[in-house]
Structures are given as C-alpha cells and as structure tokens.
Amino acid sequence: MSGLSAAAREAIEAIEAGPQGPKIGAFFDLDGTLVAGYTAATFYGDRLKGRDVSPAEFLRTVVTAVDGELGGDPTRIAHVAFSAMRGESEEAFADLGERLFRSKIAGTIRRESRALVHAHQRAGHTVAVASAATKYQIAPVARDLGVEHLVCTQLVVEDGQFTGATDGPMLWGRHKASGVRAFAREHGVDLGESYAYGNGYEDVAFLSSVGHPTALNPHRDLRAAAGRLGWPVLDLSDPVGGSLVAAGRTVAALAGMNAGVAAGIAYGLTRGDRREGRNTAIKLATSLPMALAGVKVEVLHRERLWTHRPAIFVANHQSALDIPVLGNLLERDFTIVAKKEARWDPRAVIGSVVIDPAYIDRSDSESARATLDGVVDRIRGGTSLMIFPEGTRSPTPALGPFRKGAFHLAAQAGVPVVPVVLRNTGELMRRSSLVLNPGVVDVCVLEPETDWSVDDMSERIAALRAKFEDTLARWPA
C-alpha cells in the first residue's frame, strides 16, 4: 500500500491480524482525528462572514475561548455558541453543514484516518464517530466514510428550531467516555477488545475506555500522557493546504500548459500534420505543467494503457487535476466527453482547443444523443475516449455511483473499457480549488474489459465499481 506511512500500515496490519466482527468497536474522535483542524471553527468562520454575530457575542466568545485555554471550563465556549443558535432552524443548519462539508471540511479528512476507518470496516467492526461536536458537523463526514453510528452532543429542537440547550451533557471528556460505554452496552460491543482514536488532552477518559487506545496526532499534553501510560502514538500526515509557493507553481503550470499547446500547434503546422501537432500539444500541455507544479505520476500496469486502443478509459474523479493526469497518461489519440458548461471553464479552455472534446448539452437529450453518435464514429476512427462515469467530481475520495453512458458507448462502438484508478489527486488539488500542490499521484490501470453488451451491463458495472473500491481500499503493491 504505497502512499501510507509505515506507522499507518503497521496499525492497519494489526487491525487485520486482530479479532474481527461486530463485537469489536472502533471509535473515532472527529476534530483533529478524522479531520485536521476544528469543524466548529469552520462553522463559526461562516457565521462571522455572514455577519450573524454581534460584536458583544463575538467578544463573549473570544473571552470564553481564552478562559478555556487558561484552565477555565473549556466546554463553556460551546454552550455560548449553542445558546446563540436559539431560534435558528434545524433544517437550515443541517444544510449549512452539508454546504460547509462540500466546500471546506471534506478536504480536511486525513487520508490515513480514512484508511484506518476502512480497515475497521473490512474487519466487520462496529465503527462509530465519538465527538463533542453536533451531528450537523459529523453526519456528512460519517456518511462519506460509510460510518453509521454517531456518539455525539445532542441539541434540543422544538418545532424545527433550536432552543439553545443541549439534550444531556456535552460529550466532552468524561461524558464522551460514558457515552461510548453506554453505546457499547447497547450494541453488545466488547470494550476490552475495542479500539479508540483521539487527539485532545480531554480524550484520555474516552481512550481509556477501550483495550486498544491510540493517541492520533495528539495534543502535546495527550502526547505526554500517552508516553506515561504506554499508549501508542500515531502521527498521520495532514492534507496538503495551498501554500503561496504552491499557488506560484500553479500559475507557472498554467503558463506551461499554454506554452505547450502553442508549441505543439506550431510544430503541427510546420510539419503539415494537424493530428501529429495535436498529439504533440497534448504531450507538452500535460507534462510541462505537471513538471512545473512538482506533480509526479506513479503508474501500476502502464502497459494496459496501450494494449487495447481504441478504447474507452474510465476513471474516478476527484479533482481538476484528473484531466491533465489522464492526458499525460494517454498521451495521444484521445478525447473527452464534457458537459457543455465546461467549455468556458478557464482551466479547460486551452486544453479544449487541442483535445476537441465532444460536448453534450445535458438539458437537450436530442442533441446529446446526436453528439454521442458522432463520438461512436470517432472512436471507430481510432480516437480513444476518456470518461468519468461518476459524472461529477466527488468532494472526497469516496466513490460515487457509476452512470451507464460510457459503457453504452463501449457496447455500441464495440471497444473495450480500460479502468483507471486515480488516488490522491483530490489531495493535491482540492475540489473547486485553483491551487495545485506538489506531490505524487498514484495510478493503477486495471485489467481491460471487452465485449460489452446491454444484457449484463448493470451487473458488470457494479462489479467494476467494486473493483475500483477495492483498489482504493487496498492499493496493490
């Protein structure tokens, strides 16, 4: 499993070697453990931006927060926040949670935490998020990780509005520990054999409720305590944030792409061969920017990219980086299907001049079908096609459902499907981000699949999607 640190791999191997089944629990803290940073800060930042906060409330919040840091009651800050929410609509707040998840929080989920969660899920363990946060912060993250259970602070809702009070204590410190123990009793979980992951100094009681506690990227006081108590400490890498340097490199990369395109077209003109010019442009336009941005690509089974051309290449989609990466891999004689709106995306406009994508107007099925008929002809003519069957970029590495379009095209054109699994492109360039961070993209080309027909298409698509999931969960060595 490349890409995971040795320590994370060891932890996962220990989980795989340990007891399996739902009697074993795995409890994950949210803030600082599953995600880097504090989701509450993201929510509060949004309130500040929306000017929902009066100067008095702001001052009170700051004073309470500072007091909590200086040995006062650290949960008071949350109660100040909860009482400020009195009268707000629960539905609107849940929507806000979803919006903030897509735009901000999804990008802060630690990749190796996700791998730990999946390792526990594969072992059939009962996995839960245990946090002092509210379900509006946790639920989108838990859903994305496929975690069903939440042990969290409950807010009282009356007539669809928050009352500003909590139902029961805030699940912080000892209350989180007792919440986890109650959950274990209810679900028949054997705590002595179970796992817990936390990062805060207040998580000691929570961690000590299980037989296998891990201090994950711990706060300095928890690190000291873990040393004394002999608990394992696991330091996972944080998702890369956009730095100024990275932003500068992105600009250079865009410039490189343009230069590549221009050079390629010029080359084609001088040689009098448009096709060759286009291929050269693709090559330069994809390899130059990636080199400038410091992005490397590591490919498993690169030969499978060439054995079955023309073909339909299907890949999972998390980032705008996916297109240049795939372009770089496929090198020549391919095009993409894109939605009409993407034509004027500044990130794609130059590439589209050379790749000459088949645009579909989703609002007009008649014209969409006509475009696709044209595409079938082009495939038969020797141009491969690159399609993202999820249709849209997912905010996280979790795989979305596959649409059938790509496979219908394969059946109609009588060409094979070559599955390409991309990992961590989303980490190097977050969804809806314009900044590209340096790093290594892992790519795995799966066995090409031939002879598509409408009869068994659904089953084959489901099987293929499962292969994607499996590859993402256990990256082949």
Site for another protein contains 225 (CB under 8 A): yes
Contacts for 140 with CB less than 8 Å, ≥ 6 apart:
97, 98, 101, 102, 105, 106
Site for another protein contains 167 (CB under 8 A): no
- Choose the binding region for another protein from 200-208, 251-259, 374-382, 388-396 (rule: CB under 8 A): 200-208
Number of residues that bind another protein (CB under 8 A): 28
Site for another protein contains 222 (CB under 8 A): yes
224 vs 266 by CB, closer to another protein: 224
Residues 290-309 vs another protein: string with x where CB under 8 A? --------------------
Alpha helices in 272-398 (DSSP H): 274-293, 322-330, 349-355, 365-380
Tell me the closest approach of the beta carbon of residue 229 to another protein, in angstroms: 5
Site for another protein contains 385 (CB under 8 A): no
- Choose the binding region for another protein from 85-93, 221-229, 342-350, 392-400 (rule: CB under 8 A): 221-229
- Here the contacts of 42-48 (C-beta below 8 Å, separation 24 or greater) are 42/100, 42/104, 42/105, 43/96, 43/97, 43/100, 43/137, 44/81, 46/96, 46/100
Interface residue with another protein among 80, 157, 205, 353 (CB under 8 A) is: 205
Site for another protein contains 62 (CB under 8 A): no
DSSP string, 124-152: T-EEEEEEEEEHHHHHHHHHHHT--EEEE
Residue 244: exposed, middle, or buried by beta-carbon count in 10 A (0-12, 13-18, 19+)? exposed
How far is 383 from 286, CA to CA, in rounded Å? 18
Site for another protein contains 148 (CB under 8 A): no
What sign for the dihedral angle of Cα 246, 252, 258, 264? negative
Tell me the closest approach of the beta carbon of residue 173 to another protein, in angstroms: 7
* 84, 134, 251, 319 from 172: Cα distances, Å: 20, 11, 44, 36
Site for another protein contains 232 (CB under 8 A): no
50 vs 230 by CB, closer to another protein: 230
Tell me the closest approach of the beta carbon of residue 191 to another protein, in angstroms: 7
Interaction residues for another protein, span 73-112 (CB under 8 A): 73
Tell me the closest approach of the beta carbon of residue 170 to another protein, in angstroms: 15
Site for another protein contains 115 (CB under 8 A): no
Q: What is the DSSP letter of 218?
A: -
Site for another protein contains 169 (CB under 8 A): no
Interface residue with another protein among 124, 192, 248, 401 (CB under 8 A) is: 192
Tell me the closest approach of the beta carbon of residue 243 to another protein, in angstroms: 23
Tell me the closest approach of the beta carbon of residue 218 to another protein, in angstroms: 10
Strands 358-360 and 334-339 turn out to be parallel
How far is 161 from 87, CA to CA, in rounded Å? 5
How far is 439 from 306, CA to CA, in rounded Å? 26
Residue 44: alpha-carbon gap to chain centroid: 23
Site for another protein contains 414 (CB under 8 A): no
Interface residue with another protein among 29, 112, 144, 202 (CB under 8 A) is: 202
* 231, 298, 451, 455 from 423: Cα distances, Å: 31, 10, 27, 31
H-helix or E-strand spanning residue 29: none
How far is 86 from 78, CA to CA, in rounded Å? 13
* 138, 203, 223, 224 from 228: Cα distances, Å: 31, 15, 9, 6
- Choose the binding region for another protein from 108-116, 205-213, 285-293, 449-457 (rule: CB under 8 A): 205-213
Site for another protein contains 246 (CB under 8 A): no
Interface residue with another protein among 10, 13, 148, 221 (CB under 8 A) is: 221
Site for another protein contains 210 (CB under 8 A): yes
- Choose the binding region for another protein from 37-45, 197-205, 279-287, 304-312 (rule: CB under 8 A): 197-205
Site for another protein contains 186 (CB under 8 A): no
Site for another protein contains 173 (CB under 8 A): yes
192 vs 248 by CB, closer to another protein: 192
Site for another protein contains 208 (CB under 8 A): yes
Tell me the closest approach of the beta carbon of residue 304 to another protein, in angstroms: 51
Contact by Cβ (8 Å): 305, 418: yes
**Phi, psi (5° rounding) for residue 208?**
-75, -5
- HSE-CB for 250 with a 13 A CA cutoff: 17
Contacts for 327 with CB less than 8 Å, ≥ 6 apart:
282, 285, 286, 334, 351, 355, 386
Interface residue with another protein among 109, 170, 171, 177 (CB under 8 A) is: 177
Strands 161-167 and 149-158 turn out to be antiparallel
Contacts for 311 with CB less than 8 Å, ≥ 6 apart:
384, 385, 415, 416, 417, 418, 448
43 vs 206 by CB, closer to another protein: 206
Interface residue with another protein among 30, 196, 204, 295 (CB under 8 A) is: 204
Tell me the closest approach of the beta carbon of residue 202 to another protein, in angstroms: 8
Q: What residue ranges bind another protein (CB under 8 A)?
A: 69-73, 173-174, 177-178, 181, 191-192, 201-202, 204-206, 208-211, 221-222, 224-225, 228-230
